[in-house]
Amino acid sequence: MTNVIRIEDADDPRIAEFVGVRERDLTRGEGRFIAEGTVVLRMLAAAHDRGDQFLAEKILLLENRVEGVSEILAQFPPEVPVYVASSDVLDRIAGFHLHRGVLALGRRVSARTSSELLAGLPQEALVVAAFGISNHDNIGSIFRNAAAFGADAVLLDDACCDPLYRKALRVSVGAVLAVPYVRAGSMTDILTALSAQEYAIWGLSPGGELEISQVPGHPRMALVTGTEGEGLPASVLSVLQTARIAQAPGLDSLNAATATGIALYTIARIQGRLKNA
């Protein structure tokens, strides 16, 4: 484990990236992000170790949390500095009471296209493509569900919000750092890349042709989802095979996270991907 560096002053330039962390969006521009809490820190350690997608830059801890996370800290190389501060100093840095007391600054180092990401996936694959998702909770949930059901990748068009945004990363329980993804290009770019790699593509829609459990299995499958409320645009639905989730009569009332979860669970079972099914 690296040496621990004590911070006495909230204005110390070495921890400047953590100042006012709730209000800032570090993701703009430089691809930096804040990881919060022990679970996400553990995911960042694993991602840093792989090294192809994310690197950890620095860690900032409440002084009395160091011992509790020492096993995770030991997974980072010594060049990642670990700063510690008292509760008072940490709250002044963060700008609010940070009861978890575990923060890290990470950076995304990958810039693949959808085609490049897809080309590196196994012969049998399941991916999620999401278009126009602007809600951080929903983006985070997509990643959490993708991880839960063993999806190989998430493809986001450039109209989606950044999954490294603090709230999205937290809602994902760190899955954004674990499930390979690309956020680039248009819906058309992503659908074209999927077709070129011979994916069976299914758009999720309340008016879908097949109930999701009737979708035929295929070695490479892609589930496509749009925004809660609006759903996928008609122009996209018209060119895709579509699947619905059976519900009680009345208004369509699943939230986006639950709908994606049910679809991924069902398709992963159809593909025989879940070992304890």
Residues that bind a second copy (CB under 8 A): 141, 144-145, 147-150, 173, 175, 211, 213, 244-250, 253-255, 257-258, 261-262, 265, 268-269, 273-277
Question: Residues 6 or more apart from 22 whose CB is under 8 A from it?
Answer: 94, 95, 96, 166
- Using CB atoms within 10 Å of the CB of residue 198, give its burial: 0 to 12 exposed, 13 to 18 middle, 19+ buried: exposed
Q: Which is nearer to a second copy, 16 or 210 (CB)?
A: 210
Q: How far is the CB of 8 from a second copy (least distance, A)?
A: 35
Return d(Cα 45, Cα 157) in angstroms, integer: 27
Q: Which is nearer to a second copy, 234 or 251 (CB)?
A: 251
Provide the residue type at 3 as one letter. Answer: N
Q: Which is nearer to a second copy, 235 or 253 (CB)?
A: 253
Residue 188's alpha-carbon distances to 114, 125, 241, in angstroms, are 11, 20, 15
Closest CA to 137 of 170, 106, 160: 170
Packing angle of the helix pair 136-148, 256-270 (nearest 10 deg): 20
Return d(Cα 103, Cα 254) in angstroms, integer: 33
Q: Which is nearer to a second copy, 140 or 185 (CB)?
A: 140
Q: How far is the CB of 72 from a second copy (least distance, A)?
A: 14
Q: How far is the CB of 250 from a second copy (least distance, A)?
A: 8
Q: How far is the CB of 129 from a second copy (least distance, A)?
A: 19
Q: Which is nearer to a second copy, 77 or 217 (CB)?
A: 217
Instruction: Quote the longest CA-to-CA distance of the chain.
Output: 62
Report DSSP letters for 234-245, one per residue. HHHHTTSEEEE-
Return d(Cα 259, Cα 232) in angstroms, integer: 13
Q: How far is the CB of 53 from a second copy (least distance, A)?
A: 18
Q: How far is the CB of 203 from a second copy (least distance, A)?
A: 17
Q: Which is nearer to a second copy, 143 or 165 (CB)?
A: 143
